[in-house]
Structure 1
Amino acid sequence: MLISLAIKNFAIVSQLEVNWHHQMTTITGETGAGKSIAIDALAQALGERSEASMVRANTDKAEVIASFDVSKLTTAQNWLKENELFNDDDCILRRVVTKEGRSKAYINGIQVPASQLKAIGSLLVSIHGQHAHQLLIKPDHQRFMLDQYAGNLELLNKLKLVYSNLQSTTSEFKQLTEKQAEFSAQKQLLQYQVDELNNAELTDGEYQEIENEHKRLHHANSLQGDTQNALDILHENDNGNAYSALQSALSLLQKSANLDSRLNPTIELLDSALIQLDEGTSELRNYIDQLELNPQRLIEVEQRLNLYVELSRKHQVFPELLIEKLTSLTDELNKLANSDTRLLELELEIEQAKTSYKELALALTEKRCHFAQQLNKKITASMKQLNMADAVFNIDISSDPETYSQFGSDKVEFLVSANPGQPLQPLLKVASGGELSRMSLAIQVIIAQKVTTPTLLFDEVDVGVSGPTASAVGKLMRELSNNTQVICVTHLPQVACYGHQQQFVNKQTSTGTTQTSMEALDQLGRIDELARLLGGDTISATTKANAQELLSIAHAH
């Protein structure tokens, strides 16, 4: 419940702090005094959109702090814990608005986005404005009110998830179906390309190998001549060769080493070179023996090499990357081939989603119909209390199993017959402004009894009613406050008298500035204020007596 509200530099309020009764508080005051300012300020603490015009003239910023007791509100406590904002039994919401129109929001001293104020605010307070009856004629709002009363939030959330899944699955199925013709042409091209590459029997590293082999075969004559000449120079030439020359040099040096041992390291190096020269010539001789002139093999290698070059040109990749290209094309072909399988899967998923949707939608329809019957009786009875003795209220629910939406398959419409003999018709066609206001109030009060929001604010929802009807409105609200905190801004003494607490709003103008204040009235203060509401500016003994009688009657309940 709302414990206190502190306001600073908001609109025409300089500074104000109000402590609230846990049951019913009524707020009264002269016309134009700013009776709804406290409600407007609280709305800021609850995350409503802020504007620069809210800041009091000649000040830098406006500030609103609303303190709530959440000790018995499990839902609010869980939300605060989930968002790491929990602070025992208190929940303090703070909003600061600068004169430039920028704002900052805080929950229990921690800065948060305004959207989080709105999220926790929806669990703490429900505000019913004086224009709520205008929403009542809208079918979407009528459905919303019925669902609120029936407690359909969890069921609607489940339905919304299933509907969202059905939408996305249906969309994918439609897109895939539209692309099937395009996929068919793509598959033919891909299949040809994959077959062509597969028929080439490409192997990893083959291109480099045949490229090297082609060079060798193409230059076989040159290789054979050059290597044979090299072998002659190194070992085979009888007129002189490197091997014989090195042997002769070593023989001379070995003889000289007997005279000077410093030649020994040189001899070791040359001896090692002689061994390597011998091994090298042996390897060269083997190479020459294996070297062959093979024109037929050259033709075969050229053909294979040309195949690689042609395929690489077609697929616009380097020859050595053709195998990677084959893998890529094969994967792409498999994906397209799987599109048929995916279509079958999607058809099954759509049917399953439709089945789930229809089960949930049917359950939603059944709950709506059940609670609609309850509301029909309660609202009809409540309207009779509000001086609409012959009115009949009925909620019409029509369902189309083939209609899919996030709200179910039902069309919900509030119907009323205001006078005997009149058929039930939509509210807009039947009810006058005053009647619509009374219906709206009756519906709001009854629905509020089922909604778990701990604080209900009614901002002049009694517009258009008077006399005995107004007294019935006050009585309804007082009964409602047995289960939840009620704050009501009113101009009617017959409503104001039912409050367990009454706040008086006063506007004063001094030295060119306007200031609004609010004070809790004691018993004598309430009598004077109710007398003013009854008789205008002139308070007489008669109006005071009437005011005393109103309070006595109201508090006898």
Structure 2
Amino acid sequence: MLCQLSVTNYAIVRFLELDFSAGMTTITGETGAGKSIAIDALGLCLGNRADTASVRPGADKAEVSARFSLADVPLAKRWLEDNDLELDNECILRRTVTADGRSRGYINGNPVPVAQLKLLGALLIGIHGQHAHHALLRSDQQLQLLDSYAGHNLLIEAAAKSYHNLRHAQQQLAELAQSAQERHARRQLLSYQVEELNDFALGEHEYSELENEHKRLANSTALAENLQASLMLLSDDDDANLESMLNKVLGITEELVSYDDTLGSVNNMLNEALIQVQESRSELQHYADNLEMDPEYFAELESRLSKAMQLSRKHHVAPEELYQHHQSLVVELTSLDSNDELLEQLQAEVGLYLAQYQQAAQKLSSSRQRHAKALDKLVTESIRELNMPKAKFTIEVNFDAEVVSSHGSDALDFKVSTNPGLPLDSLSKVASGGELSRIGLGIQVITSQKVATPTLIFDEVDVGISGPTAAVVGRMLRQLGSSTQVICVTHLPQVAGSGHQQMFVAKQSKAGMTETSMVPLSREQRIEELARLLGGDTITSNTLANARELLAE
């Protein structure tokens, strides 16, 4: 629950430090005194939007901190543990806003994003504003109220999970299907190209080999002539050839070595030269013996080389890159075929997730219908207490299998009949402003009893209510305060007198500056304040007596 609120330089507040107790606390004050200012300041700690107007004129920054007891708030304690922000059984939320609009949030002294203040704040406090009953006219708000009352967190989570799975699969399927026509045209082209290249079946290094072979055969005459000339020079010419000349020189050097063995190295080199000449001659002779002039083979070779060049031009690649291009096309074609398999897989997934969603949505709808009947009865009893003795309230749950959303397939319609003989109809068509306010208050009180939030704030939710109805409202809120901390900003003496404790808001102007203060009231001070609410500025013995009666009740 909320234990303490400290406010510094916020709007027209210079400094406030308020201690809150369990039960029901009421806040009253003159019109325009700023009864809701503490609630607005608390909203900063809960992650509400901050701006420069939040800072008191002349101050550098505004600062608000709120201290909570977590003794009976397991969800908040678990959240703090999960985010490494635990601090015993207490929690302190703090927010600062500078005069230039910069804002910072803290949880237990640790800097945090404002979004985290909002997440934790939702587990600590629920705020019902004075216009909350107008939200009852919206189907989404009606759905939220029913789900809060029924505790549908797990069922909604299951529906939302299957919904998001379904939407993700549908999106993937749509993207894949959208390009199906383009893929079909591309597959046809690739199939033709790959088939053509498969038929040609060019090897990885074949084009270079074809070029070399073609060059060899195209120059076979020149090759044969030069081979013959080389063989003649090496050994075949009877008049002069390298082999015979080297043999002759070797004969001379061998004799020289017999005279001087230091010339042995020269003799060795000439021997090696003779061996090299003989081996070269053997290699050339072997090549010449195998050199064939086959016109038919040459024609085939030329044709394949020409086809390779033709295909390379057709595919806009260099001839030596044709093989790699062929492999790339094969990979792309295989990928397109696998996309077809993915398309079938996604279609199956969409069907599966749709079935899962429909099951979850139907289960949620069935639970909503059961809890709607229970809430019908409770709200009807509540609004009859609130000076609508013949009223009847019902919740219509309309399931539409065609509707797919993260919160299920239901649309709600809150219906009411305010007088006997009148048919049930939607709130917006039947209820007056005062009736809508009472219905809204009754629903808020009932649903709040089912919510785990330890502190509930009602900010002038009793607008449009007066007389005996106000006493019933006060009794309802006090009863709610027996199990939950309730803080209620009110202008009604019957509601104010129902609180276990009461605070008074006043506004003073000094030296051209306005300042708001808030103080707890003693029993005698409460009597005077209730008398003021009952009779206005003139307090009489009668209004004081009435105030004592209210407080005694």
TM-score class normalised by the smaller sequence: over 0.9
Separation in 1 of the partners of 2:267 and 2:514?
A: 118
Q: Does 1:308 align with 2:308?
A: yes
Q: TM-score, normalised by structure 2?
A: 0.94
Q: Could you report, residue by residue, the CA deviation over 1:145-178 in whole angstroms, capped at 9, with x for unpaired residues?
A: 1111111222122212222333343444455555
Structure 2 match to 1:330: 330
Separation in 2 of the partners of 1:432 and 1:205?
A: 90
Q: 1:386 to 1:186 in 2, by over 3 A?
A: same
TM-superposed deviation, 1:342 = 4.4
TM-superposed deviation, 1:43 = 1.0
Moved more, 91-100 or 425-434: 91-100
Q: 1:319 to 1:23 in 2, by over 3 A?
A: farther
Structure 1 match to 2:296: 296
TM-superposed deviation, 1:104 = 1.5
Structure 1 match to 2:67: 67
SS of 1:488 mapped into structure 2: strand
Q: 1:398 to 1:241 in 2, by over 3 A?
A: same
TM-superposed deviation, 1:469 = 1.3
SS of 2:137 mapped into structure 1: coil
Q: How does 1:331-480 map to 2 (within 5 A)?
A: 331-338=331-338, 341-480=341-480
TM-superposed deviation, 1:505 = 1.5
Structure 2 match to 1:318: 318
Q: Could you report, residue by residue, the CA deviation over 1:474-512 in whole angstroms, capped at 9, with x for unpaired residues?
A: 111111122221111111121112222222222111111
Structure 2 match to 1:551: 551
Structure 2: runs of 5 or more not aligned: none
Structure 1 match to 2:118: 118
TM-superposed deviation, 1:72 = 2.9
Q: Could you report, residue by residue, the CA deviation over 1:97-152 in whole angstroms, capped at 9, with x for unpaired residues?
A: 12222211222222222111111111111111011011111111111111111112
Residue identity in the other structure for 2:140: D
Q: 1:2 to 1:231 in 2, by over 3 A?
A: farther
Separation in 2 of the partners of 1:89 and 1:248?
A: 114
Moved more, 390-399 or 151-160: 151-160
Q: 1:84 to 1:273 in 2, by over 3 A?
A: farther
TM-superposed deviation, 1:65 = 1.3
Moved more, 496-505 or 323-332: 323-332
SS of 2:58 mapped into structure 1: coil
TM-superposed deviation, 1:392 = 1.0
Q: 1:79 to 1:251 in 2, by over 3 A?
A: farther
Separation in 2 of the partners of 1:385 and 1:212?
A: 106
Q: 1:209 to 1:71 in 2, by over 3 A?
A: farther
Separation in 2 of the partners of 1:19 and 1:266?
A: 116
Separation in 2 of the partners of 1:512 and 1:256?
A: 132
SS of 1:450 mapped into structure 2: coil
Separation in 2 of the partners of 1:209 and 1:285?
A: 23
Q: How does 1:203-282 map to 2 (within 5 A)?
A: 203-257=203-257, 263-282=263-282
Moved more, 133-142 or 15-24: 15-24
Structure 1 match to 2:192: 192
Residue identity in the other structure for 1:95: R
SS of 1:498 mapped into structure 2: coil
Residue identity in the other structure for 1:460: E
Moved more, 470-479 or 262-271: 262-271
Separation in 1 of the partners of 2:522 and 2:534?
A: 18
Structure 1 match to 2:514: 514
Separation in 1 of the partners of 2:70 and 2:230?
A: 101
Separation in 1 of the partners of 2:245 and 2:19?
A: 119
Q: 1:243 to 1:523 in 2, by over 3 A?
A: farther
TM-superposed deviation, 1:192 = 1.3
Moved more, 354-363 or 453-462: 354-363
Separation in 2 of the partners of 1:7 and 1:259?
A: 122
Give aligned pairs, total. Answer: 553
Maintained 8 Å contact 2:204/2:324: no
Separation in 1 of the partners of 2:179 and 2:281?
A: 69
Q: TM-score, normalised by structure 1?
A: 0.93
SS of 2:531 mapped into structure 1: helix
SS of 2:507 mapped into structure 1: strand
Separation in 1 of the partners of 2:25 and 2:260?
A: 126
Q: 1:276 to 1:420 in 2, by over 3 A?
A: same
Q: 1:213 to 1:473 in 2, by over 3 A?
A: same
Separation in 1 of the partners of 2:542 and 2:277?
A: 139
Separation in 2 of the partners of 1:398 and 1:216?
A: 88
SS of 1:423 mapped into structure 2: coil
SS of 2:516 mapped into structure 1: strand
Residue identity in the other structure for 1:461: V
Maintained 8 Å contact 2:26/2:487: yes
Structure 1 match to 2:524: 524
SS of 1:457 mapped into structure 2: strand
Maintained 8 Å contact 2:506/2:518: yes
Residue identity in the other structure for 1:34: G
Moved more, 385-394 or 253-262: 253-262
Q: 1:439 to 1:246 in 2, by over 3 A?
A: same
SS of 1:411 mapped into structure 2: strand
Residue identity in the other structure for 1:135: A
What is the root-mean-square deviation in Å for CA atoms of aligned residues?
Answer: 2.2
Residue identity in the other structure for 1:20: F
TM-superposed deviation, 1:283 = 2.2
Separation in 2 of the partners of 1:405 and 1:166?
A: 10
Separation in 1 of the partners of 2:545 and 2:244?
A: 147
Task: State the percentage of identical aligned residues.
Answer: 49
SS of 1:387 mapped into structure 2: coil
SS of 2:403 mapped into structure 1: coil
Separation in 2 of the partners of 1:151 and 1:514?
A: 45
Residue identity in the other structure for 1:434: G
Separation in 1 of the partners of 2:211 and 2:83?
A: 67
